[in-house]
Amino acid sequence: MRNSRPESPVSSIGERLSGADPQASVTQLFESMRPDLLRFAHWLARDRSLAEDIVQESLLRAWRSRDTLKDRGAARAWLLTIVRREHARLYERKRLELVSLDEALESQVPAKAADPEGDLFTLRNAIMKLPIEYREPLLLQVLGGFSTDEIARELALSSTAVLTRLFRARNKLRAFCGMSPAPDVSTSEAAS
Amino acid sequence: MSCEQVRLQIGGDPGNSTAELEQHLRDCESCRQFRAEVRTLDANIRRALERPPAAAVTARFTASWRPWALAASVLLAMLAVLAVWALRPSDTLAREVVAHVQEEPESWLARQQVDAQSIDSALRSAGVRLDITSDRISYAQSCWFRDHYVPHLVVQTAQGPVTVMILRNQHVSGRRTFHEQGMSGVIVPAPPGSIAVLTRGGANLDALTAQMLQDVRWLPDAP
């Protein structure tokens, strides 16, 4: 399943639709967002092949539920949400914690390079190493553009719990990058 | 707003602000500095995420290595991973515990007491209960470790902070001490699993280990 390359449901549906069909524009809309969705899924799953499967399945689900998308301006956030849920389903089902090529090679990479691009490289590795409970809200916020309240709704957490996770995510990245982490906040996720 | 509230807001959502937060920043140099640092970090995070992760790594390697060297490295890395898996669990458990603790460096720095609900939350997902709620626990997280969520606690002792990981799914045949990466520790059987206790200093682990063995209760309905 992971390594298969099924035909794109969006593309194949698109082929069946004529240009005059208004639903063809939905296909085009979804397809135009595939690169963004793939990047988001890739950072979530940390595995290219798995990310492609997640996006494929997500687009299929989106197509089946296309009638619920009333506002096309909200399509990106809607699709990102579907991708996140598809990843969560897969994560829960298989308890996947993949050791990607990047991680296998990580021990060969300098901890901190001197040039700016090297710093970014260190940061990318650090983001990859973030536990999913920190990486997920960070990606939703930075890549998805979701507000704290929106992330809270999506993850079934309180807004304070989301802020705490995001604070800790950035604090971990500071530590990974050789900066001194800020004192941890005492706000509890469970209590908030 | 207190400095802690302000830092939570800034660290959680550096692009957002409120009048109350701005008022605090006008009077607090250290929080202003913190926001500047976090915003710089956030700009770098955005740049880092512009590219998918594999491409980022691959580009770096292909820029400096010949393709055959990359292939050889991949093969070696895969063999190394296979070797690690072949050797587990007995020889690598301590090393993986140490590696995990190293990945959460801020855990050693926490000083404030964690409330009972947070401790319970960290324990519950691993099917564990503690008979006592120590007022010395300064860090309590549920961490993903070897395919399971495990409680990761830091307990403040007179000799410094001590990390405790309660490993329901890791079985060890007997007590094992280890010294790795500047940490010393012990892993003891606690059927059906085990408990790892680590220190970076010279804290005596025996008393805390004995207390954890006495206080840990395994719940029957573990996830």
Cβ B208 vs Cβ B163: under 8 Å: no
Contact (CB<8Å) A142/B49: yes
Residue spans of chain B under pLDDT 70: 54-70, 83-91, 132-134, 221-223
Query: What are the start-end ranges of the H helices in B50-92?
Result: 53-64, 67-87
Measured torsion, CA atoms of residues A8, A10, A13, A14, in degrees rounded to the nearest 10 = -110
Cβ A33 vs Cβ A75: under 8 Å: yes
Neighbouring CB atoms inside 10 A of B59's CB total 13
pLDDT at B85: 58
Type of residue at A33: M
Question: How far is A153 from B46, CA to CA, in rounded Å?
Answer: 23
Does A125 touch chain B if contact means CB atoms closer than 8 Å?
A: yes
**Tens of pLDDT along chain A (192 residues)?**
333 334 444 444 434 434 446 677 888 888 888 889 999 999 998 888 888 899 999 999 998 888 888 888 889 999 999 999 999 888 766 554 444 444 444 443 444 434 445 678 888 888 988 999 999 999 999 999 999 999 999 999 999 999 999 999 999 998 887 777 777 776 545 433
pLDDT at A113: 39
Chain B residue closest in CA terms to A131: B144
Greatest distance between any 2 Cα atoms in chain B: 59
Does A74 touch chain B if contact means CB atoms closer than 8 Å?
A: no
| Whether the model pTM is above 0.95 | no
* A35 prior amide bond cis, ω within 30: no
Residue-wise pLDDT tens digits, B132-154: 666 788 888 888 788 778 888 98
Question: How far is A106 from B106, CA to CA, in rounded Å?
Answer: 21
Chain B residue closest in CA terms to A183: B110
Cβ A184 vs Cβ B112: under 8 Å: yes
- Which residues in chain A are closer than 8 Å to B48, comparing Cβ atoms? 120, 123-124, 127
Per-position b or e across B173-182, b if 16+ CB within 10 A of its CB: eeebebeeee
3-state SS class at A8: coil
Does A129 touch chain B if contact means CB atoms closer than 8 Å?
A: yes
pLDDT at B62: 40
pLDDT at B202: 77
Contact (CB<8Å) B37/A179: yes
